[in-house]
Amino acid sequence: MNLASSSLYENAFSGETGESPAFQAPPGNALVLVREGTNGTDNGLALLLDALGRTGKPFFRDNGNDGFIDRNDTVIIKINSQWAERGGTNTDLLKALIQYMVGDPGGFSGEIIIADNGQGMFGSERRGGSLDWDNTNAKDQKQSAGDVADYFAAQGHRVSGFLWDTITRNEVREYSDGDGQDGFVLGDTVQPANIRISYPKFTTRYGTRVSFKMGIWDEDARQYRSRALKIINMPVLKHHSIYQVTGAIKSYMGVPSNSLTSMSPHQSVGRGGMGALMVHTRIPVLNILDMIWISPDHGPSSRYSQAAAKNMTALSTDPAALDYWAAKYVLMDAAKAAGNARYASLSPDAAEPGSFGYWLRLSAEELRKGGFPAIIDEARITVLKIGQTP
């Protein structure tokens, strides 16, 4: 693993002023930025996002630069919300991301949607996900994702939540077909993953019409604005009892509808289905992995007593590279320490069917077939630790 953690790069990315060279991964490498010693309520995520600019690709697109987010975009923050306690994305980290966006001195005039599909099944109460759990993954364990949305909405920002569970059994057509209803659009079955593609289409609290695949519907022009919609994928790292690891790729199980496709998406995970889903719907512009508290066993649910504090956050444009590094260097060690007898199956280097490494490779192959970099060669993953502020 290429791990750049010298004082040179710590200084370059800690927010200090001075002569510090910009950093770029070697050609053909995936770059993973990591922040240690963070709890979601501090400036850890802001430092990570600021560091993107030092890599040559800043968070916001300004003056023709190669940034991720335009200031008038509609941004879906895709979280994990099917499980309460430590099983869902840390809402302090979620709040920090939104604050970074709306509080930027350059201004943000777009819209932010906090979303997930708990499929209306399973979950902590056996009825799917919630954006309003009373026992959440946060310092204030009453702070739900819905509370975070309301906090910013009360300040006049266009921030809302949309639990796709509420529409996951509604089959609809696209806006371009004259269908204005909320629900899920069904696509083709993609081989060899054997996944029936599906994705949400819905109207937000502010009247914005969103197709996860096609983009933002402009009723006057009768066309989609694809580039106006961006996805930030923000899962929590945890063990999964069937598929070994929930991370950036497995997080996309919160995009399709299981109910309308005979459980096709969930059954396809081990065949690389989530990689295929990303390719055939919309790939995230950025993946932010919550590793403040992780679940080394008992996943995908994780009670407070079952979680391990790692106080880390990482991000990458490459979901496969991010999952590779996090599984190998964070989750596996924690699983072994927790007595998870099957910790070796969490290895991204494992090759046998039923292991994480097996379906990670299939997912990466689907991404590469779609034209997206998906690097799981350890020698081609550059990991940069973002230094501590004084």
Q: Where does the pLDDT of residue 24 fall: very low under 50, low under 70, confident under 90, or very high at 90 and above?
A: confident
State pLDDT tens for residues 201-239: 999 999 999 999 999 999 999 999 999 999 999 999 999
Q: What is the pLDDT of residue 126?
A: 86
Bridge partners for 85 per DSSP: none
CB 120 within 8 A of CB 254: no
In percent, how much of the chain has pLDDT > 70?
A: 94
For residue 243, how many C-alpha atoms fall within 13 Å in the half-sphere facing its CB?
25
Mean pLDDT score, 110-127: 93
51 token code pair: 């560091």
127 token code pair: 């009825």
Burial class of residue 267, CB neighbours in 10 A (0-12, 13-18, 19+): middle
Q: Where does the pLDDT of residue 22 fall: very low under 50, low under 70, confident under 90, or very high at 90 and above?
A: low
Q: Where does the pLDDT of residue 25 fall: very low under 50, low under 70, confident under 90, or very high at 90 and above?
A: confident
Judged by average pLDDT, the poorest of 19-33, 190-204, 270-284, 329-343 is 19-33
CA distance 89 to 254: 12
- Compute the chain's Rg from CA coordinates: 19
CA distance 250 to 233: 11
> In sequence order, what E strands does the chain have?
2-4, 30-36, 74-79, 111-116, 159-163, 171-172, 183-190, 195-203, 209-211, 215-218, 223-225, 229-234, 236-240, 244-246, 286-295, 308-316, 381-385
Answer yes or no: is pLDDT of 103 > 60. yes
CA distance 48 to 235: 16
| Pairing mode, strands 308-316 and 286-295 | antiparallel
Helices vs strands, H then E, count in the chain: 9, 17
The backbone torsions φ and ψ at residue 227, rounded to the nearest 5 degrees and listed phi first, read -70, -10
Q: What is the pLDDT of residue 216?
A: 98
State pLDDT tens for residues 254-264: 999 999 999 99
Burial class of residue 188, CB neighbours in 10 A (0-12, 13-18, 19+): exposed
Answer yes or no: is pLDDT of 122 > 60. yes
CA distance 9 to 42: 21
Residues in the chain: 390
State pLDDT tens for residues 145-175: 999 999 999 999 999 999 999 999 999 999 9
Mean pLDDT score, 312-340: 96
Mean pLDDT score, 323-346: 95
CA distance 99 to 285: 18
Q: H or E segment at 321?
A: helix 319-326
DSSP-derived letter for residue 165 is G
Answer yes or no: is pLDDT of 117 > 70. yes
Q: H or E segment at 274?
A: helix 273-280
Judged by average pLDDT, the poorest of 63-72, 303-312, 313-322 is 63-72
Comparing CA positions, the residue from 36, 26, 7 lying closest to residue 312 is 36
310 token code pair: 């790692």
Q: What is the pLDDT of residue 273?
A: 98
Amino acid at 306: Q
Answer yes or no: is pLDDT of 18 > 60. no
Comparing CA positions, the residue from 318, 303, 200, 305 lying closest to residue 255 is 200
Q: What is the pLDDT of residue 23?
A: 77
SS3 119: coil
Report pTM: 0.94
CA distance 308 to 367: 31
State pLDDT tens for residues 36-59: 999 999 999 999 999 999 998 999
